[in-house]
Amino acid sequence: MTAKTTQTKPSIVFCHGLWADGSCFSKLIVPLQAEGYECIAAQYGLNSTAEDVALVKATIGRVSGPVILVGHSYGGTVITGAGVDDRVAALVYICALAPDADETSQTQQSNFPKTDVFSHIDVVDGRIWLRREGTKYFCGDLSEQDQKLVWATQGVPKPDLFDAKAGGTAWKSKPSWYIVGKNDHTVHPDLERFFAKRISAKVTELDSSHVPMLSQPERVIDVIRAAAKGVQQVTAAA
């Protein structure tokens, strides 16, 4: 089959983690939109993994294909489940979980040293709240002002999220990119490296906290651009 002469940029769907919502990707979305990428952030409620995965699949339907899913932290579990959708062409994990079919967030993290952030949370009224001082371990490379903003706008997950399975293993069939935060105190960096190796991802390591999309957005955008280029090359050759 003759290669196509034009290439359409993939759309990008962003999937947030715990203590966050889609606004955590604002420093990525604005520049990528300026480059002509169609972007949207899935705003799910952190009530159940099944609901969050379903909302991401619905969000995929709001943009043109092919789609790159970008997942941060727990959002990696979400894109692992939602990414089996045929409209998804690639996955980008940012300091993220990447479970296998029989794993949960809890079983993955229990195999590695407990990170500092989990000593600075409160489980109250059926939700997991990040304490004010916990931002030092969650996003310590941000300014004090930005850390306060992260705390003030936190999404508040239900504890059951840690015991739920993703409902799919997209990384087994979709090309993946992975960003490791070398100074991460929320997901252990060695756990991130384990995931990246297991899913055969193209790996970038950054001197960052758990939130490189806020502290080093240009470096994260570079990885997303690389994933987009890979998708475009495959599309052009089809």
Give 43-90 pLDDT, tens digit per residue. 999 999 999 999 999 999 999 989 999 999 999 999 999 999 999 999
* Residue-level pLDDT at 6: 45
As a whole number of angstroms, the distance between CA 89 and CA 13 comes to 11
Q: Which helix (H) or strand (E) holds 135?
A: helix 135-138
* Percent of residues, the chain, with pLDDT higher than 90: 85
* Residue-level pLDDT at 237: 66
Peptide bond into 66 cis (omega under 30): yes
Q: Which long-range contacts (CB under 8 A, 24 or more apart) does 222-227 make?
A: 223/92, 223/177, 223/179, 224/12, 224/28, 224/32, 224/68, 224/70, 224/92, 224/177, 226/177, 226/202, 227/68, 227/90, 227/91, 227/92, 227/175, 227/177
Q: Which two tokens stand for residue 27?
A: 């420093």
Q: Which two tokens stand for residue 128?
A: 């997991």
* pLDDT over 60 at 34, yes or no: yes
pLDDT confidence band for 238 (50 / 70 / 90): low
Tell me, what DSSP letter sits at residue 98? -
The topology under which CATH files domain 11-237 is Rossmann fold (3.40.50)
Given the DSSP bridges, would you call strands 176-181 and 88-94 parallel, antiparallel or unpaired?
parallel
Domain locations in the chain as residue ranges: 11-237
Counting Cα atoms < 13 Å in the Cβ hemisphere of 92 gives 28
Q: Which residue has the tokens 């604005």?
A: 30
Phi, psi angle pair for 41, to nearest 5°: -105, 130
As a whole number of angstroms, the distance between CA 39 and CA 33 comes to 7
